[in-house]
Amino acid sequence: MPAKKSSQDQPDALAVFETSMSELETLVEALESGDIGLDASLKKFERGVALARQCQQALKTAELRIDQLLQDDEGQETLTPVNVEDD
């Protein structure tokens, strides 16, 4: 049975998120400019979807790390996350 990867074995979620988000912003700007052809637009869109998924996964990983940090030795939450409501 393969060993589970520790959080140290996984790429840093924040670095993955920042890199993916930066590239995604560049792709969106290129698509919004309208200066590229249909084929290139489709390829950029496909890459953008993949990057968005990477960002979602990085955010999930970060959320899991936060949840782990908020638990005590017995697995009970020690702090309650704050929900910010929009006005």
Domains delineated in the chain = 13-69 (1.10.287)
**Alpha-helical regions (H) of 1-87:** 13-33, 38-69
pLDDT band at 8 (very low <50, low <70, confident <90, very high): low
Q: Which of the two residues, 12 and 37, has the higher pLDDT score?
A: 37
pLDDT single digits (tens) 37-73: 999 999 999 999 999 999 999 899 888 888 888 887 7
For 12-44, letters b (16+ CB in 10 Å) and e give ebeebbebbeebbeebeeebeeeeeeeeeeeeb
Q: How much is the pLDDT for 86?
A: 58
Given a contact cutoff of 8 angstroms between Cβ atoms, the answer to whether 17 and 59 are in contact is: yes
Mean pLDDT calculated for residue range 15-37: 94
Residue 1 has pLDDT above 50, yes or no: no
DSSP 10: S
Q: What percent of the chain is predicted at pLDDT more than 90?
A: 46
CA dihedral 5, 68, 81, 56 (to 10 degrees): 0
| Distance from C-alpha of 63 to C-alpha of 24, rounded to nearest angstrom | 21
